[in-house]
Amino acid sequence: MKAQGPGLKRRMPAFIWKTFRLLFFIEISYLILYPFLSKLSTSLMSRTDILDLTVQWIPKRPTLENYRMVTVLLDYWEYLYSTVFVTLITTLIQLAACVLAAYGLARFKFKGRGLLFFLVIFTLVVPPQTYAISTYMEFRFFDLFGLGSLLGLEPVSLVGSPWPVYIMSMGCMGIKNGMLIFILRQFFRNLPNEIEEAAFIDGAGIFRTFFHVMLPNALNAIATVFVFSFVWNWNNYEDASLYMNNVKLMTTQMANLTMVLSSGMGGATVVDPTELTLAMSATGVLVMLPLIIFFIVAQRFFVEGIERTGLTGM
């Protein structure tokens, strides 16, 4: 027994630390998952369940009627296709622009590089509401570099279409572009210079080195940025409501849920609060479900990218 005493004392601190760490992660996971689990539970309840004070999490009469109603009233499948299409195109454009900008800031030395990178980071602290009106007017009366006026053409309005978001993504002014460029720049900076030098010795130029050497080594970082960009653009209600009010997007449809339900229920001016709660919970689950599936599929690449982009060492 005396021989086992010191070993037991050494194991106790490790056991206490593992127990504390487990309880801590359980608590954090609960805080993160609570909104989704709450909406999921409510969406499966019937009208009787939600009025029953004894029902907290598990409904006594579970039903999928809320999902059927919301799917029909919101034209869910049509809006889902449109949202996925617009989000995917925006993400790919944003990803291409950020990769090029980050590679230039990381691997090329030129005057003003530090100032330019400072301005990239500065975009993260500038509220987009400060320049929303001027940006809106630019797209409302769009004239590319004034060329249309020189040719005698009238300005065109891009508001009501996805083009404003596409153009901003091309110019590295999309949602949270500064963060995406920062992540990719950190990764490209950590790549050894010998990779580029070996490619130059073999006769490869700048573009060939970038596309055939650097990009294949940056796939994990690109996967991380792709996941971030897709999720942020999916939930980007501000740009959707400001520039794409005529595009069928799930974020704007959910924001107008009360009006949609009113028109779908015979044009009633007042919607039953109970039905509205059930419908909003079902809609929230349907909006989050594609993102959950997307993250499950991309989880392995996302975790590997986080480990290799230098984010853990910041």
> Which secondary structure element, helix H or strand E, spans residue 41, and what is its range?
helix 4-43
Per-domain boundaries in the chain? 77-247+291-308
pLDDT digit string, tens, across residues 32-48: 888 888 888 888 888 88
- Looking at the chain, the whole-number percentage of residues with pLDDT higher than 90 is 10
Reading the block at residue 124, the tokens are: 């993260």
**Contacting residues for 72 by C-beta, under 8 A, at least 6 apart:** 264
Is the pLDDT assigned to residue 314 strictly greater than 60?
Answer: no
User: What angle is formed at CA 150 by the lines to CA 146 and CA 155, rounded to 5 degrees?
Assistant: 55
| Global confidence as pTM | 0.81
Residues 208, 101: Cα–Cα separation, whole Å? 17
Reading the block at residue 297, the tokens are: 């599929």
pLDDT given for residue 86 in this prediction: 92
In the chain the first and final C-alpha atoms are separated, in Å, by: 47
Residues 224, 83: Cα–Cα separation, whole Å? 21
Q: What is residue 7's three-state secondary structure? A: helix
Looking at every residue in the chain, the average pLDDT score rounds to 81
pLDDT given for residue 93 in this prediction: 94
The radius of gyration computed from the CA coordinates of the chain, to the nearest angstrom, equals 26
* Phi, psi torsion values for 266, nearest 5 degrees: 80, 20
pLDDT digit string, tens, across residues 251-269: 887 777 777 666 655 544 4
pLDDT given for residue 1 in this prediction: 44
Three-state secondary structure readout of 58-124: CCCCCCCHHHHHHHHHCCHHHHHHHHHHHHHHHHHHHHHHHHHHHHHHHHCCCCCHHHHHHHHHHCC
Is the pLDDT assigned to residue 60 strictly greater than 60?
Answer: yes
Buried b / exposed e across 53-81, counting CB within 10 Å, b at 16+? eebeeebeeebeebbebbbebbebeebbe
Model confidence band, residue 6 (pLDDT cutoffs 50, 70, 90): low
Provide the residue type at 109 as one letter: K
Is the pLDDT assigned to residue 151 strictly greater than 60?
Answer: yes
Averaged pLDDT for residues 79-105: 92
Three-state secondary structure readout of 187-253: HHHHCCHHHHHHHHHCCCCHHHHHHHHHHHHCHHHHHHHHHHHHHHHHCCHHHHHHHCCCCCCHHHH
| CA distance to 14, 24, 42, 311, per residue, from 21 (Å) | 10, 5, 31, 22
| CA distance to 65, 180, 277, per residue, from 229 (Å) | 33, 8, 30
Q: How many CB atoms lie within 10 A of CB 306?
A: 17
User: What angle is formed at CA 180 by the lines to CA 221 and CA 86, rounded to 5 degrees?
Assistant: 100
Environment class of 136 (CB within 10 Å of its CB; exposed 0-12, middle 13-18, buried 19+) = middle
Give, as one character, the DSSP assignment of residue 146. G
One CATH from 3.40.50.11540, 3.40.190.10, 1.10.3720.10, 1.10.287.110 for 77-247+291-308:
1.10.3720.10
- Answer for the pair 303, 221: CB distance below 8 angstroms, yes or no: no
Reading the block at residue 5, the tokens are: 């005493």
